[in-house]
A and B are shown apart, each in its own frame.
Chain A
């Protein structure tokens, strides 16, 4: 018996020995008979049973005969094996050996089909339907009900229970998996069973729509075709689909998915099973958002910009790959000093290619993957605390007595973490503590405690967590979101909290490629493998591995500095890979920098403001067309293979290699596997780590004159206007309504100082939030924020807060508005 001090709750469980169909098996105490039977290879048919949901015993399909319950006495009637725990000496006879059990199961199956329509030929579930399959394996071929002229219960065909989820009540076998999932796992109990008898049905409450970020899981676990998605309904037959395992690319959680495709087209995505990561659940974004890669504005061929006879810039025109590589190389060489900006969506291999391209081809450390507000303190934090770190896992979240969230809203920004924390909190062992402006719905569902914090006040709030009342001890886990970088000193305070309490700290970025980019060295202060640029031996390491004389020694510019230097003319060329200008800290400045740059090379999937400003546009492969690796927040490497073979679709690393070849500075690889080999050979840094340096505080933004300023709090909601949800109208329709949140006192003050009044009963008051970049008008909602703070969703209206309102944390004004 071995136990580790890390997981005190994982002690060897007592084993119970029982006999199932004559086969003796030992299983942990409290195992249910239905799962013990799986251990001896007997599958008992079932509908309501689901290993991750509480047992309910409703469908009665899994009846077995128990001649001996372990006490020498048997049960007089067949028992539901999904609700019955094993007992020492128990004897179980399933349908395989017991006529009683077999008849009971056949009887229940026959009943289930009494009111089930025979529309399998047009049902989406047909071919992968547990009812269909088990009716064949454990039912009779002919229906005595139909023979006798029985009349089925009918309902109008599907009704929407949300914009995405359709309910066909006739097909429903009332197993309550969907309602139990929504209540027990997602915490969104907006669907429930209503009515009784055979008229019982899944119902919604019209005043609380079924807006759940996890509704797709209910569709997936539906054992019949009762729940279907608007997205996939009538699109294909399961037996025409090819399934390829994959990794969700929408956040840093690394949820396992299954990509189902047909003739070169993704038809749907399902949750994969990975007990260590996402169990069996994924968010609706991971499930439904995949058409962004096949929208009309997808770039399918390289383009170069024409130069007009007058010498002015002309239009983009199609070009061959060799020409585009040559033009890009020539342009970059001519532009002088260059830099590299990548978004957080690239794979670790691609991030490595960008990092190497900057150092080898452009001879610079001016590379940054942080296409979002960021700071020098964050770069130092990433180099000193995040790179090469690891050890905190999903299971640790479940085992920790306290999990502290700093600048992280898991339900919106890391859905898989949210589900784990909710599970842990529901079990009553884990207390979630969140430093955030208000109690979000997600925090409420995790039964979390709010440390109400205005933007800018995070440092004091984090400092206060040392108090014993919060219970942050060495067993606690601190999860740091990328937004914490928005307040100077907050990351340092988080590190200090971890140091003084002994708690473990992990960084949870929003995007799938962020952590991999840190490890791959797509930062101005880090080389691949967590090697500090400032360490001579680290540079020698890398230079030797790469076969170059040296790598640049000077710490490079970060994203903000690159934008500033491009605008100023200090930098001439820039390679931009997958950056949406409206995600960056200052979208207007970013656009201006692109205009000012001497030469812009854009590696993009679809047309964006970057491609429109670029001199060379190189189409890159979406995740379906290439192999790659995402490194998750918990340092798990999640490799995936290409779903499709598309020779015209090149990964970023192949394109960068092409340009580097033309520059006469080859990168030494052309394929994903070559990059993987090189990364492996280089290995992690084993020398001294950089120290965390908070640096100087930036100048505080000035409040608009003569106004009562409020601090702007914001984050991105899971479902919003992000470019990777384009083309998914049904998913977007399930997004939460964008609102502005204010404290009661601030709300009253805003109303008192405005001449607007409520337009009518039931109407929500509108407010206009104005910052230095524009204003947004949204319905106002009162929440438990600190006074003089207003929260708005970052990317749910127009071009978003960064482009059209103000920088997060900066002062804004709020006024009442009329409709």
Chain B
């Protein structure tokens, strides 16, 4: 059903100066505020629970349930922190959203903060995207001036301060506890859990950390009602989501659709694969999700189905690679990223990625032996589930999944004495129809 695009978050992106308050309000923006303020905070939480919204940052934890974990009898202040440190290779949904329509996020922050009774909220945005930071800062300023933020918002008696915090360029700070460390001014390294952030997060106070897209989805739930949201998607994966198509596809970009759409449908929407080529492998949700192959084209893209296919829905960052791509080369590049971004706190991730890169590099050059594949798998086995945070696990996904699906291609490097692919053929500037 390739006509099932459901533009909600992306709906206003094509309007003139969509990032301005005037443009946003003209299309009914900030309508969720009064509706939410008319409800009790717990009712807002319940509405989000009923909607079935699950975290859009990758893990898919039910958002309303997360909010419910905040101990409201704790006398300390409560905080909402928006994780806008989007750094996963291939993932590119939050940055465009904040770029095109920052007010969608700001509105979501206000409603969500009201629900969890936070009077201070933070948006931790990736430091490299300066243009986005500026748009966010301007949007927050406009919201203050319009009375959407600050004291006694819309006469409701509810106060909220929103702070845009720029990160300092570390992949690890997308991990929620490392993000909190960074926000507190320390080195970004993950914290020991328990205590969980809901109990002792930012400044040892109850804290909700949500992804940009999760928070940005909240106003639509309040305005249209939870059943509207729950009516979309599949049984356990409700609602819509932004699917970011990149790579060897005719029209890469953001496709907002109900969860459960298939890659085949999405590729159709995107005008098919690069002309003259066919899909070879793809990631369903960024480089940390095990890669899939064309046989998975009809897997519904929801949390359960992708999980059953041996991968994870993740951030719905669909990186599509056609047959010109050397999987070993792609995996090595990703692994170099993980080595570079390993925070160094725990041994498996720090030392494991250092070693993985060397083993993979050797294989790419056609050196080594078939036994190195088993060595790679054993290294991955020693990292997966042994590292301090999930980022170490993520580093093993491309390697183990690529060996599972493309073992022969690894071996071809050994018999060929190097990479059998022409690296130019996979580039965007290669002549149409170039052969491997």
A: which residues have CB within 8 A of B? Answer: 55-61, 63, 76-78, 83, 103-104, 106-108, 110-112, 114-115, 144-145, 148-151, 153, 173-174, 192-200
Contacts and interface: CB of A to CB of B under 8 A. Distances in A.
Given A60-B387, A111-B355, 17 more contacts: A58-B346, A83-B192, A107-B381, A107-B382, A108-B348, A111-B348, A111-B352, A111-B382, A112-B347, A114-B354, A148-B359, A150-B358, A197-B340, A198-B339, A198-B342, A198-B344, A200-B344
Mostly, the A contact residues are loop
Interface string B327-371: 000000000000111111111101111110011001000001000
B271 interface: no
A230 to B, nearest CB: 27
B170 A114 contact: no
Contact of B344 (A63, A112, A195): A195
Contacts of A58: 345-347, 388
Nearest to B362: A148
A32 to B, nearest CB: 12
A114 B348 contact: no
Contacts of A107: 348, 378-379, 381-383, 386
A111 B380 CA distance: 11
B386 A114 contact: no
15 contacts: A59-B347, A77-B386, A83-B192, A104-B382, A104-B386, A107-B379, A107-B383, A110-B382, A111-B382, A148-B359, A148-B375, A193-B187, A197-B353, A197-B354, A198-B339
B191 to A, nearest CB: 10
Nearest to A174: B344
A153 B192 contact: no
A198 B187 contact: no
A23 to B, nearest CB: 25
Nearest to A199: B344
Contacts of B235: none
Given A59-B347, A83-B192, A114-B354, A196 B386 contact: no
A184 B1 CA distance: 60
Contact of B346 (A59, A104, A114): A59
Contacts of B378: 107
B59 to A, nearest CB: 15
Contacts, number: 104
A818 B351 CA distance: 55
A197 B388 CA distance: 13
Contacts of B386: 60, 63, 77-78, 104, 107-108
B385 interface: yes
Contacts of A148: 358-359, 362, 368, 372, 375
A145 B355 contact: yes
A150 B355 contact: yes
Contacts of B187: 192-194
Nearest to B340: A197
A198 B372 CA distance: 22
Contacts of B340: 197
Contacts of B388: 57-58, 60
A108 B350 contact: no
A77 B348 CA distance: 14
Nearest to A57: B192
Contact of B385 (A61, A78, A192): A78
A151 B355 CA distance: 9
Contacts of B355: 111, 114, 145, 150
A199 B353 CA distance: 12
A196 B342 contact: yes
Contacts of A78: 385-386
Given A60-B387, A78-B386, A198 B354 contact: yes
Which of A61, A145, A196, A198 counts the most chain B CB atoms within 10 A?
A: A196
A110 B356 CA distance: 13
B34 to A, nearest CB: 44
Given A111-B382, A148-B368, A56 B192 contact: yes
B258 to A, nearest CB: 31
A276 B170 CA distance: 45
A78 B172 CA distance: 22
B347 A61 contact: yes
Contacts of A173: 347
Nearest to B187: A193
Given A60-B387, A77-B386, A111 B344 contact: no
A55 B191 CA distance: 11
Interface string B187-199: 1000010000000
A153 B347 CA distance: 14
A685 to B, nearest CB: 54
Given A60-B388, A78-B385, A115-B354, A197 B343 contact: yes
Contacts of A196: 170, 172, 341-344
Contacts of B358: 148, 150-151
A502 B329 CA distance: 77
Nearest to A115: B351
B192 A76 contact: no
A115 B187 CA distance: 23
Contacts of A193: 187, 344
Contacts of A59: 346-347
A57 B194 CA distance: 12
A104 B379 CA distance: 11
A76 B339 contact: no
Nearest to A76: B385
B418 to A, nearest CB: 17
B366 to A, nearest CB: 14
Contacts of A145: 355
A57 B346 CA distance: 8
Nearest to A59: B347
Contacts of A200: 343-344, 350
A150 to B, nearest CB: 5
Contacts of A77: 385-386
Nearest to B339: A197
A272 B342 CA distance: 37
B334 to A, nearest CB: 15
Contacts of A192: 187
A419 B189 CA distance: 28
Which of B346, B378, B388 counts the most chain A CB atoms within 10 A?
A: B346
Interface string B390-417: 0000000000000000000000000000
Which of A56, A60, A61 counts the most chain B CB atoms within 10 A?
A: A60
B339 to A, nearest CB: 6
B342 A111 contact: no
A543 to B, nearest CB: 67
A65 to B, nearest CB: 11
A103 B359 CA distance: 20
A115 B348 CA distance: 12
Contacts of B345: 58, 174
Contact of A60 (B172, B346, B354, B379): B346
A60 B350 CA distance: 11
Given A150-B355, A196-B342, A111 B347 contact: yes
Given A58-B345, A78-B385, A148-B375, A111 B351 contact: yes
A195 B350 CA distance: 12
A108 B343 contact: no
B341 A60 contact: no
Contacts of B379: 107
B269 to A, nearest CB: 37
Nearest to B353: A197
A198 B375 contact: no
